[in-house]
Amino acid sequence: MDIMHGWEPFSFNNGSDTGILLSHGFTGSSSSVIYLGRKLSEAGFNVEGPRLTGHGTRWEDMIGVRYEQWIEDVENSYKKLIETSRVIFTAGLSMGGTLALRLAEIHPEISGVITINHALYINSALAPAIPLLKFFIKSVEPIISDLKDEAARETGYERTPVAAVHELMKLQKITRSDIGKIKAPLLFFKSKDDHVLRIKDTLWAYENAAVHDKELQWLENSYHVATMDYDKDIIAGETIKFIKNHI
């Protein structure tokens, strides 16, 4: 099945020895992080933005996808960056941020991690029932396009597959359990007004990560998809500064 417009993976090779792996979020698309990707490229870095398995076609295609496949997606982009870059950072929005953390747990040689409103818990009272509910409820309301900027619009699925939410929960659990394995410096961005994920996700990671070099920056003027919102230039500028300080 053809990939829909706005969901395509992206790759910027500037001949740099520094590369950044930048991942989109759950049921979202590369369009949500392409602005940040371009800013990183303009700063001279190599950038890889994968399309996560099950995304970019129809929401039903996420049913049956395993969380290990999403890890494999970012692993493949990481391997591609290794071919051109000596120093590699991981970054991502929402579940993309979760994957950025997970990759740093697997690869202690990663030089730094940047997350934007990363996902470590499901913000729903029904979360404990999801492993069972997935057999009875195929999908629920969408979670895309939580944006303060009304002129912006995120490309994403119009439904949220419950079976895929269960896979996200598995990814979150293993990422939480291994948070102490991360050796890389951390930069967390968190929107004060996020209607998808709670502040708890970011605070938990900040408090439990064993590294001393970690920073939490609050976003005052963005909702969940902050990489497309009013604070997108703050995110880009601070991310570039963080990378340059850790090369």
pTM, two decimal places: 0.95
166 is catalytic: no
**pLDDT attached to residue 142:** 80
**pLDDT attached to residue 145:** 83
Burial of residue 11 (number of CB atoms within 10 Å: 0-12, 13-18, 19+):
middle
Does residue 1 fall inside a structural domain? no
List 29, 73, 118, 194, catalytic entry? 194
Whether the Cβ atoms of residue 105 and residue 181 lie closer than 8 Å to each other: yes
Length of the chain: 247
**pLDDT attached to residue 54:** 95
Task: Tokens for 178, please give them.
Answer: 């291994």
Residue carrying the six token digits 């494999």: 72
Does residue 111 fall inside a structural domain? yes
Q: Where are the beta strands (DSSP E) in 94-134?
A: 112-116
Who contacts 41 (Cβ-Cβ below 8 Å, separation ≥6)? 12, 14, 47
Who contacts 64 (Cβ-Cβ below 8 Å, separation ≥6)? 163
Does residue 4 fall inside a structural domain? no
Report how far residue 210's alpha carbon sits from residue 238's, in angstroms, rounded to the nearest whole number.
22
Counting the structural domains of the chain, the total is 1
246 is catalytic: no
List 16, 29, 77, 94, catalytic entry? 94
Q: What is the CATH number of the domain that holds 177?
A: 3.40.50.1820
194 is catalytic: yes
Does residue 63 fall inside a structural domain? yes
Whether the Cβ atoms of residue 160 and residue 142 lie closer than 8 Å to each other: yes
Tens digits of pLDDT across the chain (247 residues): 577 787 899 999 998 999 999 999 999 999 999 999 999 999 999 999 999 999 999 999 999 999 999 999 999 999 999 999 999 999 999 999 999 999 999 999 999 999 999 999 988 777 788 888 888 888 888 888 889 999 998 888 999 999 999 999 999 999 999 999 999 999 999 999 999 999 988 999 999 999 999 999 999 999 999 999 999 999 999 999 999 999 9
Does residue 117 fall inside a structural domain? yes
List 23, 224, 229, 231, catalytic entry? 224
Burial of residue 62 (number of CB atoms within 10 Å: 0-12, 13-18, 19+):
buried
Q: 237: domain range?
A: 10-245
Does residue 116 fall inside a structural domain? yes
Who contacts 116 (Cβ-Cβ below 8 Å, separation ≥6)? 91, 92, 93, 94, 96, 97, 189, 226, 227, 235
Does residue 2 fall inside a structural domain? no
Who contacts 237 (Cβ-Cβ below 8 Å, separation ≥6)? none
Who contacts 24 (Cβ-Cβ below 8 Å, separation ≥6)? 30, 31, 32, 33, 49, 51, 52, 55, 92, 93, 94, 96
User: 103: part of which helix (H) or strand (E)?
Assistant: helix 95-106
Whether the Cβ atoms of residue 243 and residue 45 lie closer than 8 Å to each other: yes
